[in-house]
Amino acid sequence: MTLVDSRPGIGAAWSVLAAETGAAIDIPLVVSRLGPPLEVEVANWFPAAEVSAVAARYREIYPHHAVHGTDVLPGAREALAAVHRHGGRTMVVTGKHEPNARLHLDHLDLAVDHLVGDLWGEQKGVALRASGAGVYVGDHLGDLIGARAAGAIAVGVATGPISAEDLRAAGADVVLSDLTGFPAWLDAHVADLRLGALRERLASLGSVAVAFSGGADSAFLLAAAVRTLGAAHVLALTTDSPGLPAAERDAARAFAAELGVRHELVPSDEMARAGYRDNNGDRCRFCKTELMAVLAPVARAAGMAHIATGTNADDARVGFRPGIAAAAEAGAVTPLLDAGLTKTQIRAISRTWGLPTWDKPAAACLSSRVAYGVAITPARLARVERAETALRMVLARDGIAVRNLRVRDLGQFARIEVDAALSTAVADHEPALAAVRDAGFARVEVDPLGYREGAMNELLPDPELYR
């Protein structure tokens, strides 16, 4: 009664058993108290000497009468998916005979990574502890005993024979009416764990200079560092170069001032690095190398022990990120990544903290708009910035409310990317196209696939060459 409603099938199997043996079995009573081992229930209806044989016969009957009469409970599939979404493994530890439990999982195609059957109470705890389970969800007092024995968080669901009040009184850490509430609870629980890990990581650093672009990730990291270490032990450093839009520079300055943390604009000269100007697939490597080269002396002079970037757990899962590798090689620390925080979690916590950056669209440097192989120049970056600023103003004026917007410089022409649902509207809006042409592009097109991070990487013949 945690993942599946087995009552109809169990009732059918007991009815067959009653017919075969002639025993007067109260089927509704049996299915009202599911949970304990089968032998416990059999002993209520048969002499002690017959319990083992009757239980064995019930298990033989079960596959033919109980499996197809069982369905998943509301929220079960979503609960399993939520665990996988957070990178966890799902495990069913049940008192049911393991082969029969497997039949249920296979019949209903439930995404369970591991199954252990024929266990009850503290025995469940042994299996849970052996697998390193951190959370155990169950509907019976025996499940709570198993969770406590394993040192796991006990989540009780009131879909079985035990009421929410009794689950709570028995010591459940969390009580849900059913599994539909589990994904939201798990999201909050994992975010809390990772936020705690972030605080521990920041505390271990002692002091930190945050490479602060003004985006959602670095803004959150800066705020978390101030909360954990105090403003005196934190420094916000923003590089001042042609690749950073002026609006981002101003926003970064205002955000740091609101936090009460010292903020410095540090001149950088990516253009002096041939690898950056050439703009091949490893351009970001040269950019981050320059970033660390100019920030490190400033951080040291201010007495900061480390330089931290806003790299998050999602960034690390993207296959092609040479800039992240370059920053790591230069000694940058990545507290958000170390804590396992994802972009979604960063935005959610930022919103809770009241940070204005919680819903800020991604804002990569201007050079990311230029197709690989097309040389980066200050004039080219300025043209892209003019085009994006003019385009955003025209769309806002004419009531086309875009969230994500990019003007990609493909050398001979510009390609506009906006939210996919608005691509057609922008393509049909001549003033928008004219705004980009007026910024200095002879020809303009709109990408029908819409905005997506890493769109320029799609044009690389082989990203592996630049790892």
**Model pLDDT, residue 319:** 55
CB 130 within 8 A of CB 109: no
Whose tokens are 């605080």? That residue is 199
Quick one: which of 402, 405, 408, 328 has its CA closest to 368?
A: 408
DSSP assignment, residue 35? -
CB 310 within 8 A of CB 252: no
d(CA 306, CA 175) in angstroms, rounded, equals 42
Question: Does 163 score more than 90 pLDDT?
Answer: yes
CB 401 within 8 A of CB 421: no
Pick from 78-87, 164-173, 401-410, 448-457: least confident: 448-457
Question: Does 453 score more than 90 pLDDT?
Answer: no
Question: Does 347 score more than 60 pLDDT?
Answer: yes
What is the arithmetic mean of pLDDT over 31-47? 94
Which distant-in-sequence residues (6+ apart) come within 8 Å of 21 by Cβ? 46, 54
CB 308 within 8 A of CB 341: no
pTM here? 0.80
Q: What are phi and psi of 67, to 5 degrees?
A: -70, -50
The count of C-alpha atoms lying within 13 angstroms of the C-alpha of 453, restricted to the half-sphere facing its C-beta, is 12
- What amino acid is encoded at 219 in this protein? A
Which distant-in-sequence residues (6+ apart) come within 8 Å of 392 by Cβ? 402, 405
Q: What kind and span of H or E run contains 161?
A: none
Give me Rg for the CA atoms of the chain: 30
Pick from 19-28, 225-234, 362-371: least confident: 362-371
**Model pLDDT, residue 464:** 47
Question: Does 246 score more than 80 pLDDT?
Answer: no
CATH assignment of 190-362, among 3.30.300.30, 3.30.1360.200, 3.40.50.620, 3.30.450.20 = 3.40.50.620
Q: What kind and span of H or E run contains 126?
A: helix 122-130
Distances 143 to 22, 120, 153, 398 between C-alpha atoms, Å: 33, 8, 11, 59
**71-182 CATH fold:** Rossmann fold (3.40.50)
Percent share of the chain, pLDDT over 70: 96
Domain boundaries of the chain, sorted by first residue: 4-65, 71-182, 190-362, 367-466
Whose tokens are 């757990």? That residue is 313
What is the arithmetic mean of pLDDT over 101-112? 95
**367-466 CATH fold:** GMP Synthetase; Chain A, domain 3 (3.30.300)
**Model pLDDT, residue 459:** 65
Which distant-in-sequence residues (6+ apart) come within 8 Å of 378 by Cβ? 242, 271
Q: What kind and span of H or E run contains 314?
A: helix 313-317
Quick one: which of 197, 202, 198, 200 has its CA closest to 305?
A: 202
The answer to whether 190-362 and 367-466 have equal CATH topology is no
